[in-house]
Amino acid sequence: MSEATARPSPYHLVDAPGPSAFMRDPKRFWSLLWLSSRMEFKVRYSDQVLGYAWALLQPLALFGVLYLVFTHVFGFGDTIPYYAALLVFGIVLFSFFTDAVGVAVPSVVGAESVVRKTQFPRAVVPLGVVMTSLMTLAFNLGAISVFIYLSDTEPRWSWLLVPFMIALLIVFTACTAMWLSALYTRYRDIGQAWTVVSRVLFYATPILFPIELVSNPLRQIFIANPLAPIFIESRRAIFDPAAMSTLEAANGPIPILISATLFVTICFFGVRYFVRLAPRIAEDL
């Protein structure tokens, strides 16, 4: 054996990771996610005269219409404490959920040129949309906090529960966005289906009215909605501790178990489906 043959090669073959939902380096993944969401936020409002103001004007316009209807027609303003602040708070939270998921559904298909890159983590696309909507939510909550203050709502310790409720909403929104964005790559009908589902969820969630105004059989169906407990407990934490709780409204453990099961199932299988489909997403585009 010659000296050239015996000398070890200075080059080593390294296995290159294939396309996936996430990255092996969490720090780099979060850095990429933050960069993507910041760019999305700037692009979303850069070409508009009013810019970010539209993100606040849209829920406020909806609030104005609904407030006039439900206070003058149904008289909710006289019978429900802090109804105006409660309504605008619920609309802002629900708008975050529907806007984030609605924009995220076609996001992977829209980012085809980026998704086709082998080393790009696919989850950055829908999660970047959710984080962008989260930035908007943070600004909106800051704005409506003034509205809540003017409604003479008394500060209480239960306000500390509100970040936990919002965190649950963020988790549910992110998982739903990942699931539907992956489904959309194969089934374009998901976009139309989400439009219908989001409208049904708006009226099936206690936003326009408190849960105690719903009759008992229908009330249990409302509680089975994974979003309902978040809005019910947020109302009790911020505005009215004496209001009906989720447990009282459910009139038993079954509706709450259904709601919790749906929440966990959508989150778990939504993320799992996206992770399993991520290596093959480019093939479906």
Question: Using one digit for the tens of pLDDT, what is the confidence trace for 166-180?
Answer: 999 999 999 999 999
**Given CA atoms 26, 31, 32, 38 in this order, what sign does their dihedral have?**
positive
Answer yes or no: is pLDDT of 6 > 60: no
Taking the mean position of all CA atoms in its chain, how far away is CA 92? 12
Q: Which pLDDT score, from 0 to 100, does residue 51 have?
A: 60
132 falls within a domain:
yes
Q: What is the mean pLDDT of the chain?
A: 82
Beta carbons of 179 and 273 less than 8 angstroms apart = yes
Which residue in 278, 284, 265 sits closest to 226, CA to CA? 265
Has residue 143 been placed in a domain? yes
Residue 98 pLDDT exceeds 80: yes
Q: What are the tokens at 2? A: 């010659």
- Do the Cβ atoms of 109 and 185 come closer than 8 Å? yes
Given a cut of 90, whether residue 56 has pLDDT beyond it is: no
The number of residues in the chain equals 285
Residue 163 domain-assigned (yes or no):
yes
- List, for residues 189-213, the tens digit of each pLDDT value: 999 999 999 999 998 999 888 888 8
Containing structural domain, residue 78: 19-284
For residue 86, CA distances in Å to 30, 75, 140, 236 come to 34, 15, 14, 10
Flag whether 6 is in a domain: no
182 or 70: which leads in pLDDT: 182
> Is 8 part of any domain?
no
Report yes or no on 193 lying in a domain.
yes
Q: What is the pLDDT of residue 82?
A: 80
- Per the structure, how many domains does the chain have? 1
Q: Give this prediction's pTM.
A: 0.84
Percent of all residues in the chain with a pLDDT value above 90, rounded to a whole number:
31
Are 241 and 259 in contact, with CB atoms under 8 Å apart?
no
Q: Does residue 12 lie within any of the structural domains?
A: no
Quick check: is 4 in a domain?
no
pLDDT confidence of residue 118: 61
pLDDT score, position 14: 46
Phi first, then psi: give them for residue 239, nearest 5 degrees: -105, -50
